């Protein structure tokens, strides 16, 4: 297996991509002006706002007013409200959920960041175990491709068949479909599809930034539980520590849990601000010197205002953005005149 690293520095954000044998495996997004207090790996002093003994948790105020959840463990010294503690970001906040913290030790003073996160370039090197990072046009193409694949629901499998990855509030479901996968014998074809599905789904879940409970609806019957369990351990090995894999049920499903760490990429990609940044890149790539008109949904047009000055610094005042009520959020167009 070969991993390559890409770093795209653009207007409003930096995107990092790790590819596995030429296919995107990780997409890291760092927005300009993001909250350093809740970034994965950051360490800082927080103030305990509330202790919930019944749930073995404490709510901790972080730098800038953000809040994190600190699980309380029996071996910890007693935590009390108002106490200063030093904590690390174990998982970033996501929709409706605060950041999860781990206790580093006692703290002193007001909430603040004492050790910032590594940053995307350093995190890419840690994942890929190489110092070679590609930037420039190739990195932009890699990041755009990674975004497109992360947003897809149905993904083809090597050798035929497909998987559909869909999320709910409770879990992520992976449905394996045999499709037109060739094979002389149905059971062998189903086995091959299930093995391929575990490998592909592991990569795609990392790309989409999805974790928590994952349920595979396997294809076929009479599964080789030992082979599938071993394949799952290998496929989800990069997500350790913290992966737990269950046995195949009598309904033909396999359940596992994957640790949540970074904010889900899917949540970020579905924001109007992400679409506005894609519009900014489209304006950059348009006919140089021409006057440009961009059309997009009202939400994207509103989000674009945050980046308008930065785009104008690069292109000059030769573009206009029109809000169109009949455009879906994911639709935008750029015209040269």
Q: Is 252 helix (H, G, I), strand (E, B) or coil?
A: coil
Average pLDDT of the chain, as a whole number: 94
Q: In which element (H, E) is residue 296 found? A: strand 292-296
- The model's pTM: 0.90
Arithmetic mean of pLDDT, 287-311: 95
* CA distance linking residue 195 with residue 228, whole number of Å: 6
Q: Is 12 helix (H, G, I), strand (E, B) or coil?
A: coil
Question: Is a pLDDT exceeding 70 seen at residue 182?
Answer: no
Residue in the block written with tokens 């992966």: 243
Max intra-chain CA distance, the chain: 69
Question: Is a pLDDT exceeding 60 seen at residue 177?
Answer: yes
* CA distance linking residue 238 with residue 51, whole number of Å: 34
The 10 Å Cβ neighbour count of residue 134 is: 15
Task: Read off the tokens for 193.
Answer: 């599809």
**pLDDT tier at 184, thresholds 50, 70, 90:** low
Task: Read off the tokens for 53.
Answer: 């003994």
Which one is predicted more confidently, 41 or 182?
A: 41
Peptide linkage before 241 cis (omega within 30 of 0): yes
pLDDT of residue 289: 85
Arithmetic mean of pLDDT, 225-246: 96
Nearest to 300 by CA among 278, 268, 285, 284: 278
Strands annotated E in 132-209? 133-134, 154-156, 162-167, 172-177
Q: In which element (H, E) is residue 313 found? A: helix 308-315
pLDDT of residue 337: 83
Nearest to 307 by CA among 330, 287, 281: 281
Q: In which element (H, E) is residue 293 found? A: strand 292-296
* CA distance linking residue 36 with residue 116, whole number of Å: 7
Residue in the block written with tokens 């930037």: 135
Task: Read off the tokens for 244.
Answer: 């737990």
In degrees to the nearest 10, what's the CA dihedral of 206, 212, 217, 221? 100
pLDDT of residue 67: 95
By percentage, how much of the chain surpasses pLDDT 90? 86
pLDDT of residue 183: 57
> Do 220 and 161 contact (CB within 8 A), yes or no?
no
**pLDDT tier at 96, thresholds 50, 70, 90:** confident
pLDDT of residue 33: 87
- Give every CB contact of residue 305 below 8 A, 6+ residues apart in sequence: none
Question: Strands 319-323 and 292-296: what pairing?
Answer: parallel
In degrees to the nearest 10, what's the CA dihedral of 145, 256, 271, 261? -90
pLDDT of residue 181: 61
């Amino acid at each position: 297996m070969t991993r390559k690293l890409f770093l795209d520095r653009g207007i409003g954000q930096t995107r990092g991509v790790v590819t596995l044998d030429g296919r995107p495996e990780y997409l890291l997004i760092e927005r300009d002006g993001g909250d350093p207090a809740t970034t994965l790996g950051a360490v800082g002093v927080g103030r305990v706002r509330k202790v919930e003994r019944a749930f073995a948790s404490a709510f901790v105020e972080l730098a800038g007013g953000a809040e994190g959840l600190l699980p309380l463990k029996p071996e910890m010294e007693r935590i009390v409200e108002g106490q200063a503690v030093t904590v690390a970001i174990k998982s970033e906040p996501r929709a409706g959920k605060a950041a999860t913290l781990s206790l580093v030790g006692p703290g002193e003073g007001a909430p603040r960041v004492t050790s910032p996160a590594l940053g995307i370039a350093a995190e890419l090197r840690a994942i890929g175990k190489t110092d070679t990072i590609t930037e420039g046009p190739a990195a932009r193409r890699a990041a755009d491709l990674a975004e497109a694949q992360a947003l897809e629901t149905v993904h083809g499998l090597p050798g035929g068949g497909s998987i559909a990855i869909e999320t709910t509030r409770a879990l992520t479901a992976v449905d394996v479909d045999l499709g037109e996968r060739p094979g002389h014998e149905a059971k062998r074809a189903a086995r091959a599809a299930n093995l391929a599905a575990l490998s592909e789904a592991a990569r795609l879940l990392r790309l989409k930034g999805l974790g928590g409970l994952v349920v595979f609806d396997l294809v076929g019957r009479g599964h080789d539980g030992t082979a599938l369990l071993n394949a799952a351990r290998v496929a989800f090995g990069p997500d350790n520590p913290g992966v737990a894999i269950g046995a195949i049920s009598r309904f033909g499903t396999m359940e596992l849990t994957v640790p949540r760490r970074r904010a889900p990429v899917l949540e970020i990609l579905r924001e109007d601000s992400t679409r506005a940044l894609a519009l900014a890149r489209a304006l950059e790539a348009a006919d140089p010197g021409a006057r440009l008109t961009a059309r997009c949904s009202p939400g994207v047009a509103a989000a674009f205002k945050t980046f308008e000055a930065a785009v104008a610094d690069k292109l000059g005042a030769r573009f206009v953005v029109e809000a169109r009520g009949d455009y879906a959020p994911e639709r935008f167009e750029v015209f040269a005149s």
